[in-house]
Chains A and B, each alone.
Chain A
Amino acid sequence: MPEMYIARSSAIAARMLAGEMMVMNSADSTFFTLNEVATAIWKAADGRTPLSQIVRDHICKMFDVEYPQAHADAERFVADLAGHGILLVSDRPFTVEQPQ
Chain B
Amino acid sequence: MPGPKYVACVEIGGIPISLSTSSQVFHNLLLRRYAGFSSKAPAEFSLEFEIIEPRPASDDDVCVRRDGGEWLFERGDFFARWDPRTGTGLVRQNANPYSLDSVLRILHSLILAKRGGFLLHAASAICDGRAFLFSGVSGAGKTTMTRLATRDVTLLTDEISYIRPESNRPEVQPESTVYRAFGTPFAGELAKAGENTSAPIAALFFLEKGPDNRIDDLTSTEAVRRLMRNILFFAEDPALVEELLATACAFVASLPIRRLTFYPESQVWDEVRRFGREPQRECVYATR
Contacts and interface: CB of A to CB of B under 8 A. Distances in A.
Interface of A: 10-20, 22, 24, 26-27, 29, 31, 33
Contact of B236 (A19, A20, A22, A26): A26
Nearest to B247: A15
Interface of B: 219-221, 224-225, 228-229, 236-238, 240-242, 244-246, 249, 252-253, 284-288
Contact of B237 (A15, A17, A26): A26
B85 to A, nearest CB: 22
Contact of B225 (A16, A18, A31): A31
Contacts of B253: 17
A90 to B, nearest CB: 20
B225 A15 contact: no
Q: Chain A interface mostly helix, strand, loop or mixed? A: strand
Q: Chain B interface mostly helix, strand, loop or mixed? A: helix
A15 B236 contact: no
Given A24-B245, A26-B237, A27-B236, A17 B285 contact: yes
Contact of A17 (B224, B229, B236, B238): B224
B198 to A, nearest CB: 27
A27 to B, nearest CB: 5
Contacts of B244: 13
A31 B287 contact: no
B110 to A, nearest CB: 15
B166 to A, nearest CB: 22
B221 A17 contact: yes
Contact of B287 (A13, A17, A27): A17
B238 A33 contact: no
A24 B287 contact: no
A51 to B, nearest CB: 24
B236 A18 contact: no
